[in-house]
Amino acid sequence: EAMLALQGRNPVVQPLLVIIQIVEEVLKLNEDPRVHGVYLHLPPAYITSRVLNTIKPEKDVDGISDLNMGRLVRGDLSKGFVPPIASAVLDLLEKHDSALEGKTVLLVGGEGPLGVSLQCLIERSGMVALKGNWSSKSLQRQVWCCSYDSFFLFFFKTFFKPFFKSPVSLVWVRIPHSSLQNTGVPLCFCLAPFVFFNVVGSCSRWLQEQQYRPWHLHSLKLQPMTPVPSDIEISRAQTPKPVDQLAEEIGLLPEELEAYGRSKAKVRLSLLDRLHKQPDGKYVLVAGITPTPLGEGKSTVTIGLVQALSAHLKLNSFACLRQPSQGPTFGVKGGAAGGGYAQVIPMEEFNLHLTGDIHAITAANNLVAAAIDARMLHEATQSDKALFNRLVPSVNGVRRFSPIQISRLCRLGINKIDPASLTPQEVSTFVRLDLDPSKITWQRVVDTNDRFLRKITVGQASTEKGQIRETGFDIAVASEIMAILALADSLVDMKNRLARMVVGTSRSGQPVTAEDLGVSGALAVLMKDAIKPTLMQTLEGTPVFVHAGPFANIAHGNSSVLADKLALKLVGCDGFVVTEAGFGADIGMEKFFNIKCRASGLRPNVVVLVATVRALKMHGGGPNVSAGAPLPKEYIDENLSLVAGGCRSNLRKQIQIAQLFGVPVVVALNVFKTDTQAEIDLVCEIAKECGASNAVPCHHWSQGGRGSLELAQAVNEAASRPSHFKFLYNIEMPIVEKIRTIAQQVYGADDIELSPEAKAKIDYYNQQGYGSLPICMAKTHLSLSHMPDKKGVPTGFVLPIRDVRASIGAGFIFPLVGTMSTMPGLPTRPCFYDIDLDPVTEEITGLF
């Protein structure tokens, strides 16, 4: 109607432009979750194929789009709709004669979708359909020559008159043995019940779709080769399923998916609302013993385990992994997609950029840093009045506070919303953050190992008017914003946490937040897509969520709460979610329990503790292992003595750490080709003696999921036992006591030693009311102690706390132990020496 009015007011509007406007309106209705049916009231000239096929088939209650017509012709009405006009005609015929089979119906007019649907339904009812033409001169003779007892005569035509609100179909029927020999029926008055029936059907289907959907996972076949090719060759040899197919197989709705190319997609958080009544699956944490600098394969074990669970045991399972930083990817460690025949694919996309989450974090973090320095410059060079006039500008003669400024006024105790009503003192309090340059804790970040950015000087240009100060860079994944992304449980929660971030202290000793800077809303905008986990798949086609990537030695080292929560709903109550904690159990696992589980409210069922013969030999007294250097012969030749020493020291201690939290432990021995059967058997035997509920060898690297079947069965069995989870410390304990508890019970220290700076910081945090936050220790991952060269289970040491910082938005206090740095450096020969691109094929080489 609006289109007709538009055309009436402006005769030059072309029909094509009107159709474009109709299509735009239909597209809006398609995406509106409140609309379950779209019924077109338009002149026939505008009901084009383009318009009809723009409507989503599930909302096409007219039933005349190409897809719905195809379903009707095929006899598949489980998803489609019968056109209301066709339903009304059949209903009219049935009312006049219940015995329709064998009758003949003459259709005159009715070309197009409606004619097709009528003919299809008439024939499906056992009648014979004949078609006539309105222009036929012999039409009347054709009608009256039909046998009186065996024919229904049906004339069909569509009109659009100014006095009708919609297209009108007229029916003229000759009915045998009826007094109604000539009946003209305007079907528009009969359509309402059938339109309503289709709308109700659409709504019912929508409600059904909102329920939990059982999985129909199609596994990808592996053909392992010997010797095992390089990781990137294996990845390229497997063609991943289209991500929309994977999503459908695991019960995601199309509207819950935001595709980033063919093989990865963001998943919307609305899934949590849809499945909020669905029971969670079982929750498995993969941790490890204290690693060598080469890593012991926790990611590989995680992927091998879910491949075994889903592709071989046919149990729903999801892996939840962290996104790798480009620092180690181009530095020493390489990527984090797993390895061998237990990988996330495509591994190039996994290890490089992915969906841009780390770049979003970098942009958001550095926006805060820019806001800090800009605000300090402007406060140093302007009067209160000038600052106020610029912060609250007059627009068209009206001066208004923005919402974020009103929030600041409320926190300051100034309950006013009219800028003109502020006193000079209130103006000064409002406009001046008065940041102390020596107490700014916020640093810039970059996702590269760059040791020369650890300490820098900013503000040296003459335009900055002498606002020079020392600062530094952290690696991007050490940003508090990364920790917030990993711990937030909703967009609202993330926005509130971003606002609470403390960036420094004023000269009067008050904390200054991102919200005080006025930047927290902009941060939420930068992070609005990053909060959605990314869906990928393993080599065997099982689902993986990749989300967040905080390091475990300088942050809390776990993937996101949201990824775990989404996955736990999707797998169903008998499924498994397998997530990984960074580095050794003393680092990533401790933080998983004390920080992540507090934030999420989730409780794990099983801990899988990853060990390797190589690392156990190191802890048993073997020589040092260095990245890039050949392994000493002790690590290649059988040496049961070194293996036993490592098992009875570091492995035993890490099992005990897991048991502190009351969770059963399964030891997964990641088998390398140099390991002997005697060494493998010895590790499994001693692990069980040390308290593991089971210990099994894993061959996923060379065999894929089939090589981890024994582990999958052991995890399934352990998960069926009751878990008696408990936290290590009471959150209300004093900060010093919480640090001491971790140092003594987890690391094995005799005590802790606080530097004067650390003591002063703790006193300040207590004054500000931050004392009840959990602890996130920043400590080397290469030893249970603060000394990287001390292997096994060091004893007799005092843990030095050099500094204590607070991530108020993320929600934890993090002490810096020893000389721990938040910006790694590049080695003499970084990984990037081997990484290259073929400009013809665009294939990447050298990633691992």
Q: 134 catalytic, yes or no?
A: no
Is-catalytic flag, 28? no
DSSP string computed for 220-233 = PP----SS---HHH
Alpha-carbon gap, residue 290 to 292, rounded angstroms: 7
Q: What is the pTM of this model?
A: 0.86
738 is catalytic: no
Active-site residue, 672 included: yes
Known catalytic residue: 333? yes
The sign of the torsion formed by the CA atoms of 337, 338, 341, 343 equals negative
Reduced to 3 states (helix: H, G, I; strand: E, B; else coil), residue 513 is strand
- Which residues, 6 or more positions from 629, have their beta carbon under 8 angstroms from its beta carbon? none
CA proximity to 454, closest of 554, 587, 324:
554
Helix, coil or strand: residue 395: strand
Distance CA 133, CA 122 (A): 18
pLDDT at 168: 43
> Residues 413-465: pLDDT tens digits?
999 999 999 999 999 999 999 999 999 999 999 999 999 999 999 999 999 99
| d(C-alpha 719, C-alpha 322), whole Å | 23
User: Which among 552, 585, 658, 778 is annotated as catalytic?
Assistant: 552
Residue of 54, 300, 505, 579 marked catalytic: 300
Active site residue 552: yes
CA distance 207 to 201: 10
Cα–Cα nearest to 696, from 711, 718, 685: 711
Composition of the chain by helix, strand, coil, percent to 5: 40, 15, 40
**pLDDT below 70 — which residues of the chain?**
1-14, 97-98, 109-111, 132-190, 333
d(CA 806, CA 513): 12
Residue 653 to residue 615: CA distance in whole angstroms: 14
Nearest Cα to 289, choosing from 683, 824, 837?
683
In the set 59, 333, 408, 614, the catalytic residue is: 333
Question: Which residues lie below 8 Å from residue 515, measured CB to CB, with a gap of 6+?
Answer: 404, 407, 408, 411, 499, 500
Active site residue 483: no
Q: How many CA atoms lie within 13 A of 227 on its CB side?
A: 5
What DSSP element (H or E) covers 712? helix 709-719
Of residues 701, 797, 812, 814, which has the active-site annotation?
Answer: 701
H or E, element range at 86: helix 84-96
| pLDDT of 18 | 84
> Out of 583, 661, 797, 812, which one is annotated catalytic?
583
215 is catalytic: no
Q: How far apart are CA 61 and CA 68, in angstroms?
A: 9
For 234, 325, 348, 821, the CA distances from 836, given in Å and listed in that order, are: 18, 18, 12, 30
Smallest Cα–Cα separation from 285: which of 664, 709, 747?
664
Compute the Cα dihedral for 400, 402, 403, 406 and give only its sign.
negative
How would you classify the pairing of strands 151-159 and 168-174?
Answer: antiparallel
pLDDT digits (tens, 9 = 90+) for 802-846: 999 999 999 999 999 988 788 989 988 888 998 899 999 998 888
Which residues make Cβ contacts (< 8 Å) with residue 186, sequence separation at least 6? 168, 169, 170
Helix or strand run (H / E) with residue 330: helix 326-330
Catalytic residue among 268, 322, 495, 591: 322
